[in-house]
Amino acid sequence: MGSYDDGMRMRRKVLGDAHVDRATASTSGLDHDFQDWITENVWGNLWTRPGMALRDRSMITIAILGALNHEELELHLRAARNTGVSPNEITEILLHVAVYAGVPAANRAFKVAKTIYDEEEEEE
């Protein structure tokens, strides 16, 4: 199984150094153990497993977060460029969310995705 160091490498690969640096800098005594646990178990044990490609894990994560209307959807939509998931694939994922999790969840997810892609176009 993975380790904290494996998790930190994967976390940086998927989310990017800037995000991870901000997240670790804002860690306090209250959430330090939780952040370590996430890094080791989520990123070091789950995301590093050999049974599925990183791109596929990313797509599944986007679908689940979109379906459940979780705030980390934005983070993983931004990370999609690091995992090789295209904007067209994001559209397809969110269409599946609409059918299997409901139109309101997909509607919100599309709004989040549009905001992210609009920001990225402005930066170019």
Q: Are residues 80 and 96 in the same domain?
A: yes
- Number of domains the chain is built from: 2
Q: Are residues 59 and 26 in the same domain?
A: no
Same structural domain, 24 and 83 = no
> Is 68 found in the same domain as 96?
yes
Q: Which residues contact 8 (CB under 8 A, 6 or more apart)?
A: 20, 39, 43, 44
Flag whether pLDDT at 1 surpasses 70.
no
Domain enclosing residue 112, as ranges: 52-124
Last residue of a domain, one of 36, 51, 66: 51
d(CA 114, CA 106): 12
What CATH number did the domain enclosing 65 receive?
A: 1.20.1290.10
- What was the pLDDT predicted at 122? 80
Tens of pLDDT, residues 16-46:
999 999 999 999 999 999 999 999 999 999 9
